[in-house]
Amino acid sequence: MPSLTSYAARAALTVLLCALPVARATAADGAPRSSAPSGWEARPASGVTRTGDSGRPYFYLEGAPGTVLQDRLTVTNPGRTPLTVRLRGADADRGRAGEPAAREAAKGAGAWLRFASRKVTVPARTRADVPFAVTVPPDTVPGDHPGAILAESGGRAMDVRVHLRVSGPTLAALSVEDVAVSGRTIHYTLVNRGNAALTPRLSVSADGVFGALLRREARTLPRELLPGQRMRLTEPWRDAPALDSVTVRLRATAAGGAHGEASASATYLSPAPLAGGALLVLAVLAAGAYRHRRRPGRRLRLRLRPGRGRTGPSSGGGMGDRTGGGTGGGTGDGTALRHEQDSDDRHVAKAGAET
């Protein structure tokens, strides 16, 4: 029979197991959460009053040299504690992969940014609009001058791009450089030599000794090339030939009539096809040598037959055998030898003709 102590232990365990889901639900509701701010955002302001709603992914400002352009940045704090954000201007740049990035302002739109306050404190669950201005110097050349606004708080940083276009004539120029083929990869560099930001389109073709090997229609690259920027890119070629001499051509185009073209040559010498060709040549040579050894040659057989006129030893016959003269066996032997040789010659000639 269970004791009172055993019943008490079971009851306590049941209470703990039932209370565990309640504790987890309380944690999920947020009672024991940390009060540190998280999930804050910085983006271009909009006319919509709903928190965090903005239809602009970046700022676009346009004006003539010497003008002052104004806009607003929205900082949203969804946390339970106030949020302090520091703001500064920077020049826009692109990383090696072409992703947006920002760097310290040296010149350009990043250095022309001025904020109403570089340090903004946003209350909990609130958003704040921060006015700023871009003063375009009078001697600024026309074209695109990208910049960015950097917002930093609590070890986290966000950058909001500022696309500034200065009024005036623009030049769209693009070039393709440093084309090289390495294995199954085509390397090349795109250079923006104008004063307008470009989104290039690229087409690729390759021709070998026996005709076309690759035809890749023009497509828009997921990259934006800023004025004066060089971008090193690669193009995969998975079905490159194993044995061929190829010429690869790249053509890039962009809005405004910008275009550039370049080519490069490469030789593919894979060990497997070379080994196969060498074995084929050796097999042909070996077959030729075997046939040459089996071809019948000219052979001359000489047989001596006893002469019909020789009847026995005599002085004339003996002299005829030794000197080749006489009227006995010597004359008969010589005639038999000549007839045998002529017959063998005829047989050899007939065998050669049949061969």
Note the pLDDT of residue 223: 87
The string of pLDDT tens digits covering residues 135-144 is: 999 999 899 9
pLDDT of residue 110: 87
Element (H, E) at 288: helix 271-294
CB 302 within 8 A of CB 341: yes
Residues of the chain scoring pLDDT < 50: 1-2, 4-5, 7-9, 11-36, 48-53, 94-100, 300, 309-332, 334-335, 337, 348, 355
pLDDT, one tens digit per residue, over 229-272 is 999 999 999 999 989 999 999 999 999 999 999 999 999 986 65
pLDDT value, residue 273: 54
Supply the pLDDT for residue 113: 94
CA distance linking residue 129 with residue 123, whole number of Å: 12
User: Which string of DSSP letters, residue by residue, matches 71-117?
Assistant: EEEEEEE-SSS-EEEEEEEEEEEE-TT--EEEEE-SSSTTTTEEES-
* Predicted local distance difference test score (pLDDT) of residue 207: 96
Predicted TM-score of the model (pTM): 0.57
Q: How many CB atoms lie within 10 A of CB 231?
A: 20
Are the C-beta atoms of 192 and 229 separated by less than 8 Å?
yes
CA distance 326 to 215: 96
pLDDT on residue 55:
78
Residue 133, pLDDT score:
96
3-class DSSP state for residue 15? helix
